[in-house]
Structures are given as structure tokens and as C-alpha cells.
Amino acid sequence: MTDAITFATPYDDSNIFAKILRGEIPSISVFENDDCLAFMDIMPQREGHTLVIPKRPAVTFLDIEPDSLANLIKHTQIVARAVQKAMNADGFSIVQLNGSKGGQTVPHIHFHILPGSILNAGAHGAIPSDPEHLAKVAEKIRNAF
Ligand code: AMP
């Protein structure tokens, strides 16, 4: 067993989530602290679809330091609790895709929180939602922390 970790994937800081983190493009946030940001997916696969990202750059599950990953998962649990409560969801899905062949479209690691099941959710990253509607959903989630 070795402690060596290979941070293999070069990080491209022109990706859309890096731009959100730099404030260059807007997001509808539900949670933020020094480590993480959570915001509404603008092409939600289910009502309440929320993304949680670390502020430090990393592309995939294999590129992030274990302590940062643990912290990201801890925050994903905090946000999932609020999403579940706000959306009154019986169940929910946590999804995390890696690499373009793994279906990842934004190369900055993130967890998806989807009320209900991913198995019968809408298409991935396909249909933009009305921003005013998303803002209302986000407000419900913010009020559920
Ligand atoms: P993935 O394919 O796992 O990398 O997921 C990327 C997600 O980001 C998709 O569900 C997209 O709908 C979502 N997305 C893309 N651009 C934005 C954006 N500007 N703000 C919020 N979500 C976005």
C-alpha cells in the first residue's frame, strides 16, 4: 500500500464551473462556504436537481485529494438533506460522473443530488429550466437548511 496519489487529469480552468467559482458567470446558489459551493443545475433532470462542487480544482474522483473528497461528500450530505426536505422527496439519487467516456460534461468534479430516482429521470444536461422557476426552487432549498 502506498500513499502516492496520481493527479492525472490536467485541470482546464476555462470550464464552466471554474467560471462560476470566479464569479464570471452567474449561478443560483443554495449553499456556500470556504470549501464548497452548491447551486441549481440549469438543465435539471428532476425538480430540485442540485450540484455540489469543491472550490479547489480537480477534474475527477481520482484527481481530488482524499481529505478534500471526504469534505466534499460531507457537504453533499448536508445539501442532500436540505434538498430532500425542501422537495419532500421520498427518495433521492447521488450521481457522480468521471471523464467524457463516463458521461462527465463539465471537467470540475461535482456530485449531483436528484430528488427521486436517476433511473427514470429526464435527459442529462439537455433541457434548460426557466431561471425564475429555478430561483423559486432554490429558495425552498435554502430555507430547508
Ligand atoms: P456532468 O455531465 O456530470 O459533468 O454534469 C454537468 C451538469 O452541469 C449537467 O447536469 C448540466 O446540466 C449542468 N450545467 C451545465 N452548465 C451549467 C451552468 N452554467 N449552471 C448550472 N449547471 C450547469
Q: Express each pLDDT in 82-119 by its tens digit.
A: 999 999 999 999 999 999 999 999 999 999 999 999 99
Under the banding of pLDDT at 50, 70 and 90, the label for residue 6 is: low
Domains defined for the chain, CATH in brackets: 16-143 (3.30.428.10)
Digit-coded pLDDT (tens) for 31-53: 999 999 999 999 999 999 999 99
Q: Which of 49, 75, 108, 110 is catalytic?
A: 110
As to burial, measured by CB atoms within 10 angstroms (0-12 exposed, 13-18 middle, 19+ buried), residue 56 is: middle
Separation of 108 CA from ligand 1 center, angstroms? Answer: 10
Return left, alpha or beta for 102; rule: phi > 0 is left, psi -120 to 50 is alpha, else beta: alpha
Q: Look at residue 136 and tell me whether its pLDDT is greater than 80.
A: yes
Tell me if residue 110 is catalytic. Answer: yes
| Residue 2 scores a pLDDT above 90 | no
The pLDDT of 59-69, averaged and rounded, is 96
